[in-house]
Amino acid sequence: MKIKIINKSSHALPHYETIASAGMDLRANLSESRILKPLERTIVGTGLFIELPIGIEAQVRPRSGLAAKKGITVLNAPGTIDADYRGEIGVILVNLSNEDFTINNGERIAQLVIAKHERAEWEVASELSSTDRGEGGFGSTGVK
């Protein structure tokens, strides 16, 4: 699938690192470094603008290494980019660590996954079919 992209950053286009990679790294597009204090959040621009076909979304997800090593994650993970959005791809980062984190220009801050999606049509009903699980939620399927 081909997706139109405008790159207003000085960085290379996102790309798959391996043949089996699901995501492509997004890089911070900053004129100067930014400090993210503990529990602080910020939107970091990427300089990227895309045109997705209808039926396709782009998901902005955390980078596991950044989360595990530094406590930095994407706040609304996964963030969804809809096919009709034409603005800059921004990443909402949050610092869940106890230390300041410096975001530098070109730093890999998130990953982008391109995915197909379905559109649902609601069918109003007065009852739903029964299952073994029933109304059990939030951990109800774990070992008892």
**Residues of the binding site for substrate:** 63-65, 76, 80-82
Distance from C-alpha of 54 to C-alpha of 79, rounded to nearest angstrom = 17
Tokens representing residue 142 in the block: 């774990």
DSSP label at residue 128: -
H or E stretch including 94? strand 90-95
Phi, psi of 79 (to 5 degrees): -75, 140
Binding-site residues sit at: 63-65, 76, 80-82
Q: What's 120's DSSP letter?
A: -
Q: For residue 92, give the nearest of 106, 72, 107 by alpha carbon.
A: 72
Q: Closest by alpha carbon to 57, among 76, 75, 77, 80?
A: 80
